[in-house]
Amino acid sequence: MIDPARPPRSSGAAAARRIGPVDFTMNLPPEPDAPALQARMQAAFVDLSGDLTSLLRYQGFGGTEEDKEAALRWLKGRGIVPPRERLLICPGAHSALFSILGQVAQAGDTICAERITYPGIRALAAHLRLRLVDLPMDRFGVDPDAFAAACTKVAPKAIYLNPLLQNPTTATLPRARREAIIAVARRYAVTIIEDDAYARICPTPPPSFAELAPEITYYVAGLAKCLGAGLRLAFLVAPSARSALPLGGALRAATVMASPIATALATRWIMDGTAEAIVQFVREESAARQRIAAAMLPAGTYTADPHAFHVWITLPEGWTRSAFASQGRSAGLGVIGSDPFCIAGTPPEAVRLCLGGPSTRQQITHGLEVLAHALEGSPALASAYI
């Protein structure tokens, strides 16, 4: 168990030699290492192998009835209880977002999003030739008044939000602000696209947009940040049965179907309780790693959430994001600067650190020790020990 008190530090050079490479770039949940849980997860693979031939065939789009029942159980844990005809099972959140954007907007149309946001939405908008308009944020997320002003100026077709443990800033929109955004969206007939990637990780999240305003919300619940990115599976809830029909057609045209093997595995895990056990592990391990970050990183240099597995660092004066990332690389520490997250304007001097993935607590501790040394000194001094 990690002592919450700040551990004694060795020199940055000694720490760098000891830890070897640590990748803080990929935003993955901590990987389960408890033998009993690993055995439980593995057992599902063994069970599936008994019917592997049928899982290698083409399947009906959207999953079997059992798959949909599992998806509905998963969504109910978030407070969302949609009719089956509004539910689609997709091969990952990215494909779901791609299909939604293609349905709600055409080339040249405007989509609003957080100024600092998930890079994938930038790539999708560029591919579909949509105009992204950034909305200013504070520590709670998007400013509803700025959203209203944008609606009068650019008439967006939709607003994309990652409103819980936001990637990369960790901001969470409180209920009152969600309700204010919904009021604006209804007033100006703007569709809400809710990317609720971290919903099951937070034990007491605010109600989702899909719960508060289901008739104007496309809701995406990917499993990558809760169970594992390799599943490539997401549950999509459309605002109505009517809107689900063309959305399903678009998904079939682009992806044919979600992998039957991945879908069957997720279904098995959800129905037998393994998925909930994985989520509980991710919650507890993320909290432990956040305590390490709080002990190691200089106060006031970062924003975080006890339930997130990433951290947003605002660099002190003298550091640029490129210089900090470069210094990290020289010590085998991968970090990502703010550039890919920024929709418009000059990116802030900030970096995202991811605390999940295959790294151990010991690796996380020593990697943060090196970065903390850098944050507390100047770039010139850092180069002497990184």
Looking at the chain, the number of H-run helices and the number of E-run strands are: 15, 15
- What confidence score (pLDDT) does residue 235 get? 96
- What confidence score (pLDDT) does residue 377 get? 76
Of the candidates 135, 95, 129, 98, the one whose C-alpha atom is nearest the C-alpha of residue 117 is: 135
Q: Are 147 and 168 in contact (CB under 8 A)?
A: no
Of the candidates 111, 125, 113, 121, the one whose C-alpha atom is nearest the C-alpha of residue 156 is: 111
Q: Are 263 and 63 in contact (CB under 8 A)?
A: yes
CA distance 349 to 247: 39
- What confidence score (pLDDT) does residue 36 get? 95
| Residue 382, Cβ density class (10 Å: 0-12 exposed, 13-18 middle, ≥19 buried) | buried
Element (H, E) at 36: helix 35-49
Q: Are 246 and 161 in contact (CB under 8 A)?
A: no
Q: Report H helices in 82-222.
A: 93-104, 119-127, 144-154, 175-187, 209-212
CA distance 326 to 130: 33
Enumerate residue ranges in the chain where pLDDT < 70: 1-20, 380-386
CA-based diameter of the chain, in Å?
A: 62
User: 240 φ, ψ to 5°?
Assistant: -155, 165
Residue 340 CA: distances (Å) to CA of 18, 135, 352? 31, 16, 11
